[in-house]
Amino acid sequence: MDARIIFLLGMTATLRSLLISAKPLQQIPVQIAKESELVDYLVKYGYLTYPDHKIGRAISLRELKIAIKKMQRFAGLPETGLITDPKALAMVKRTRCGLSDFGPSDLARRKRRYAIQGTKWRKQEVTYRIENYTPDIKNKEDVDRTFEKALKLWSSASGLIFKREDNVNLEPDIRVKFVTGFHGDSRPADGPGGELAHAFFPGADNAGIDGDIHLDDDETFTINVQDGVDLLWVMVHELGHSLGLDHTYHPESVMFAYYMGYVPNLKLDKDDIEGIQKLYGLPDVERVTPSPDPTPKTCSDVKPDAVVTTKDKRTYVFSGKHFWEIKDLGGSDGPFLIKDYWRGLQDNIDASYTQSPHGHTIFLKGDRFWVYVNKEPLYGPGHISELNLPDELANVDGALEWNRNGKIYLFKGSNYWRYDKTRQKIEDGYPRHISAWRGIPSNVNAVFQWKNGRSYFFKGTKYYAFDDYSVKVLESPNPYPRDVAAYWMGCTNPEIKLQPRLSASTLGSVPNLFLFPLFFMTSQLL
């Protein structure tokens, strides 16, 4: 080993006490580790590779300093890199989770504060069972309720559902055990103090113990009191590992490696919530239906929430909990229930658009979004911030990809925004007033481009056809707005006669060569 390290490891207790006395006592825990214990700690929790003298593997001073700085950074301490740092030595004696802080999936500095281990449950419903109980808590039902509370914190923040599995003939996904000493895995419980518990990540090839939680029964577990070790905090933390979350740098997070003591009204931090939602999506959106939504009986009942043409060139109208397929030659098929055909998609969506060239259809509702290819779900629900959309675009009115310039346009109230899908951001200078789309009213309900290359705006039971070249609502041969029922739906209604729509063939009626200069100007204008 490097002679300088040998010297550092041999520093006297007297020198250590002098260093400690230079710091405010209230900031220094009573127990201070030895320098050799700090080196062992760095190895144990993944900061440092253990020296192997058989192959001539020694720890250099540089490696040691980097490892100490990583440990200090992770614990929220000043990064001195000194093996004599009293705060670093004190952290060795702190009670904490038994999982390593660093492993193959980690980097020295993460882009996000929360950390994802790399595996997850490939389903939304996860089963569990508490295999045994601690004698510290006399009433077993109190332990059950505490674990259920921990489960609820994670499920209420994500798309997860937990189910208790009491059938002993069936293996649950997560088994909770109170253990002591060596108990059959690679991490023996270490007795009072030190490591409180450890858990196994999901799907990590752990020989049948994926997701399991082991709590050191030599600790004194308590519920809702300052004394002992708070059972709820430990269960919430270890359950985070069971679901795929790693330790984080953020000390306010429940996934911080070090035990922070009893916290009344324990809640997940924003860091924890972002991490679990990255793995399992957002919780179900409450369905807000202003009034009962029976199956529409006539065309006049249909008020589109969104209209979209998907990758397979099929066009759909969504309204409430139903949708219709619009036919190229007039009329529609439907209504059908959204839940029967679009797995995972919510009712009463706000807007939708299909993005080229991949044909991904984006559905927007509130501050959430879903991604589909045709009727197959790819992702969601996610938060609109993942699309770099501002919060003000929650509950958007309508959206479309304008084929004249390939930009995404989003409409809300009396304004519209232009989104660059290549750079994935709202462009500078937006929002702008909807009056730039001449003849289009504020507060539209839906917007899309039909196969004839024209944009159509829907409001209530009426719609407007928009000339993308002259940038205004069409004025002939018949004035707008017109009935959605008569021109689009073709529902069974003897009072309304289905009228023909402009077909795709009308798109080429004016030579594109002559339209190009006007198109260039209008695409820049909008």
Whether residue 272 is annotated as binding a ligand: the answer is: no
Catalytic residue among 63, 148, 171, 238: 238
Above 60 in pLDDT, residue 30? no
Whether residue 447 is annotated as binding a ligand: the answer is: yes
Whether residue 214 is annotated as binding a ligand: the answer is: yes
Whether residue 237 is annotated as binding a ligand: the answer is: yes
Tell me whether the omega of the peptide bond preceding residue 481 falls within 30 degrees of 0, making it cis.
yes
DSSP, collapsed to helix, strand or coil, labels residue 212 as coil
Average pLDDT over residues 165-171: 87
Residue that wins the pLDDT comparison between 499 and 271: 271
In the chain the first and final C-alpha atoms are separated, in Å, by 69
Quote the pLDDT of residue 300. 59
Quote the pLDDT of residue 57. 54
Whether residue 40 is annotated as binding a ligand: the answer is: no
Quote the pLDDT of residue 486. 75
Q: Which two tokens stand for residue 128?
A: 């569990």
* pLDDT tens, residue by residue, 363-412: 999 999 999 999 888 888 888 988 889 889 999 999 999 877 888 999 99
Q: What angle do CA 352, 358, 362 make, to 5 degrees?
A: 15
Whether residue 90 is annotated as binding a ligand: the answer is: no
Quote the pLDDT of residue 133. 95
Contacts of 309 (CB under 8 A, 6+ apart): 315, 316, 354, 448, 449, 450, 451
Above 50 in pLDDT, residue 498? no
Whether residue 198 is annotated as binding a ligand: the answer is: yes
Dist CA 380 CA 369 (whole Å) = 6
* pLDDT tens, residue by residue, 219-250: 999 999 988 999 999 999 999 999 989 888 77
Whether residue 97 is annotated as binding a ligand: the answer is: yes
**What global pTM score does this model have?**
0.49
Quote the pLDDT of residue 217. 92
Whether residue 101 is annotated as binding a ligand: the answer is: no
Q: Which two tokens stand for residue 286?
A: 């409450």
238 catalytic residue (yes or no): yes
Whether residue 191 is annotated as binding a ligand: the answer is: yes
Integer-rounded Cα radius of gyration of the chain: 31
Average pLDDT over residues 417-440: 90
Average pLDDT over residues 252-278: 88
Quote the pLDDT of residue 89. 86
Whether residue 190 is annotated as binding a ligand: the answer is: yes
* pLDDT tens, residue by residue, 273-316: 888 988 888 886 543 333 344 555 445 568 899 999 999 889 99
Dist CA 9 CA 344 (whole Å) = 59
Whether residue 322 is annotated as binding a ligand: the answer is: no
Q: What confidence category does residue 115 fall into, taking pLDDT thresholds of 50, 70 and 90?
A: low
Dist CA 146 CA 512 (whole Å) = 69
Above 90 in pLDDT, residue 61? no
Pure H helices in 223-337: 231-243, 270-280
Q: Which two tokens stand for residue 235?
A: 């269960």
Whether residue 240 is annotated as binding a ligand: the answer is: no
Above 80 in pLDDT, residue 18? no
Q: What confidence category does residue 271 fall into, taking pLDDT thresholds of 50, 70 and 90?
A: confident
Average pLDDT over residues 430-445: 90
Quote the pLDDT of residue 296. 53
Average pLDDT, the chain: 78
Whether residue 136 is annotated as binding a ligand: the answer is: yes
Which amino acid belongs to residue 526?
Answer: L
